[in-house]
Amino acid sequence: MNPKIERRTFLVGGVATASLGLSGALSGADAQAEKVLRIAMTASDIPLTAGGPDNGFEGFRFTGYTIYDALINWDLRPSDKPAALAPGLATSWTADPADRKRWTLKLRQGVKFHDGSTFDADAVIWNIVKLFDDKAPHYDQRASAQIKSRVGSLASWKKIDDSTVELTTRSEDAFFPYQLTFLLISSPAQFEKLGRDWQAFAAQPSGTGPFKLERLQQRERAELVANREYWDAARRPKVDRIILRPIPEASARTAALLAGQVDWIEAVAPDQAAQIAASGARVETNDYPHGWNYMLSYQPDSPFKDIRVRKAINLAIDREGLKQVLNGFMKPAVGMVQPNDPWFGKPGFKITHDPAQARKLLAEAGYGPTNPLTFRVIVSTSGSGQMQPLLMNEFIQQNLADVGVKLELEVMEWGTLLARWRAGAISPQNKGLPALNVSAGLFDPFSAFVRYFDSVYAAPNGFNWGGWSNPDYDALIGKARTTFDIAEQNRLLGEIHSRAVDDALFVWIAHDVNPRGLSKRVKPFVPANSWYVDLTAIELS
């Protein structure tokens, strides 16, 4: 029998501290004093702020086109068609008719950097040198790694006068203006003022963009304030301040939105959309130049060398069913680009769900119940823009099983998949691998077609992973690349796309719709059909 002891009350810390919640968590007082837009990004850190953003296009979205302008910007006003190029710090760009490799750019006058210094031709040349000349005193290695390969056509540069620069490409390249959207212009004067230190510059950057960076706390937050003197009066910000927070975990982003901690979250997970809608917040989507497909190998041992197999697999997939699985957060792909794209063309092969036709084509190719087609695809567990890779691939696996095809999924980490993508189907590590599943941006002719269908870019020289090589394609791409009339260029790109669809060069599956969660504070807006969004147009109620 235990002797009695005095009764004591053990105060549990949690009980005492639970009362802390009674006053509410985030008053949002700071958000009411001025118009503050609080954004949760998927990035795990604040993207680089010195003019060469990392973290993919999310970096350009939030610390690129906010703080900086490019020589050529994107027109992000229309939402019913893919974003087109628009004058940025260059008011015009023309290829010399006598030598199409030479481009003359007229520069915008009267533009000031955030630090008050003047934008001119010297600043443009200085910014190109910082990326391309590793011997230059102001060479920025990290920015170069991010940008240099995106401006791959640039061979040389020259100042003509204070308001004109001449850029020369390696060969005739009518797609070159698209590359210049990646060339963000930072202030040489600010770099000098901060002791020629890019790390210091990243903390106090100076561009010409519609927002200025006021505070940077790495891994935690970046605070941008409106640039009230922005050169484009029509695009002066309607909010006073933007707070960027890296919250890579989807559930944590959703929780932050539901709790009123942020007003805007990137990449809503499909299974959390209902919860967001029920809370009074909303999910906005739009067409988005982002394809989620299977790239195919054209190596000798690949079953996809047979066009009937390629078409059969395209016809075996129930994209509408997949859309339901994703709560509607995708668009069924009917090609590399969408039908409202000027480059869609008029493909004859209609990508629908037709299992009977798929079986017929497979039988013609020599596959059937006694000799089923089995193929392997490498997929990632997650990753930038990869949507819901495991869920989606398992659904596709069932679709293919319905037509007698056995799909084997080899799951790996995103970084590993990227390395396998770069290496190409021809590499020893990918020997015997017929396909890989990777999503990618499709925002310009190069990213949508050239890098996949031009034999020059066969891996390891580029992203023609499967090694597709066809002289007709090469000729057509070459013709489009040297056609400087945009309407004619678009027609030729449509022809390339039509041929690619008719040849079923990919297994086209889904287009992402870029779901964003927005609180009631954010006034309704329709995002551009682009990887980017015009944050200057966002209004808060």
Partner 1 sequence: MLLFIVKRVLAVMPVVLGVSVICFLLVHIAPGDPLSAVLPLDASQQMASEMSALYGFDQPLVVQYGRWLLRALQGDLGVSIATGRPVLAEVGAAVVNSMILASAATLIGFTLGCVFGFIGGYHRGTVFDRLSSIASVLGVSVPNYWLGMVLVIVFSALLGWLPPTGAGPDGGATWRPDFEHLKYLLMPALTMAAIPMGIVARTVRALVGDILSQDFVMALRAKGMRETAVLAHVIKNAAPTALAVMGIQFGYLLGGSILIETVFAWPGSGLLLNTSIFQRDLPLLQGSILVLALFFVFLNLIVDVVQTLIDPRIRRF
Residue 364 CB, nearest approach to partner 1 (Å)? 36
How many Å apart are CA 346 and CA 499, to the nearest integer? 9
Interface of this chain with partner 1, residues 367 to 406, rule: CB under 8 A = 384
Cβ-contact 212, 67 below 8 angstroms: yes
The stretch near partner 1 (CB under 8 A) out of 19-27, 91-99, 287-295, 510-518 is: 19-27
Interface of this chain with partner 1, residues 186 to 225, rule: CB under 8 A = 198-199, 202, 217-221
Q: Which is nearer to partner 1, 414 or 484 (CB)?
A: 414
End-to-end, the C-alpha distance of the chain in Å comes to: 69
Among 270, 462, 494, 527, binds partner 1 (CB under 8 A): 462
Number of residues forming the site for partner 1 (CB under 8 A): 74
Residue 278 CB, nearest approach to partner 1 (Å)? 10
Among 1, 7, 10, 428, binds partner 1 (CB under 8 A): 10
The stretch near partner 1 (CB under 8 A) out of 15-23, 231-239, 304-312, 493-501 is: 15-23
**Of 45, 50, 73, 170, nearest to 456 (Cα)?**
170
Q: Which residues pair with 245 in a beta bridge?
A: 40
Interface of this chain with partner 1, residues 79 to 98, rule: CB under 8 A = none
Q: Which is nearer to partner 1, 10 or 110 (CB)?
A: 10
Among 32, 33, 34, 44, binds partner 1 (CB under 8 A): 44
**Which H/E stretch holds residue 374?**
strand 374-380
How many Å apart are CA 248 and CA 266, to the nearest integer? 10
Tokens of 58: 């999310």
The stretch near partner 1 (CB under 8 A) out of 286-294, 322-330, 421-429, 509-517 is: 421-429
How many Å apart are CA 30 and CA 459, to the nearest integer? 51
Cβ-contact 455, 470 below 8 angstroms: yes
**Of 206, 211, 214, nearest to 186 (Cα)?**
206
Residue 272 CB, nearest approach to partner 1 (Å)? 10
Confirm or reject binding of residue 6 to partner 1 (CB under 8 A).
yes
Residue 205 CB, nearest approach to partner 1 (Å)? 14
Confirm or reject binding of residue 252 to partner 1 (CB under 8 A).
yes
How many Å apart are CA 125 and CA 227, to the nearest integer? 24
Q: Which is nearer to partner 1, 281 or 392 (CB)?
A: 281
Confirm or reject binding of residue 56 to partner 1 (CB under 8 A).
yes
Among 180, 185, 226, 258, binds partner 1 (CB under 8 A): 258
Q: What SS3 state is found at 44? A: coil
Q: How far is CA 335 from CA 120, 352, 474, 509, in A?
A: 42, 11, 19, 8
Among 225, 333, 425, 440, binds partner 1 (CB under 8 A): 440
Cβ-contact 487, 254 below 8 angstroms: no
Q: Which is nearer to partner 1, 280 or 300 (CB)?
A: 280
Among 339, 366, 372, 415, binds partner 1 (CB under 8 A): 415
The stretch near partner 1 (CB under 8 A) out of 78-86, 125-133, 460-468, 477-485 is: 460-468
How many Å apart are CA 496 and CA 472, to the nearest integer? 10
How many Å apart are CA 164 and CA 179, to the nearest integer? 18
Tokens of 363: 């039988």
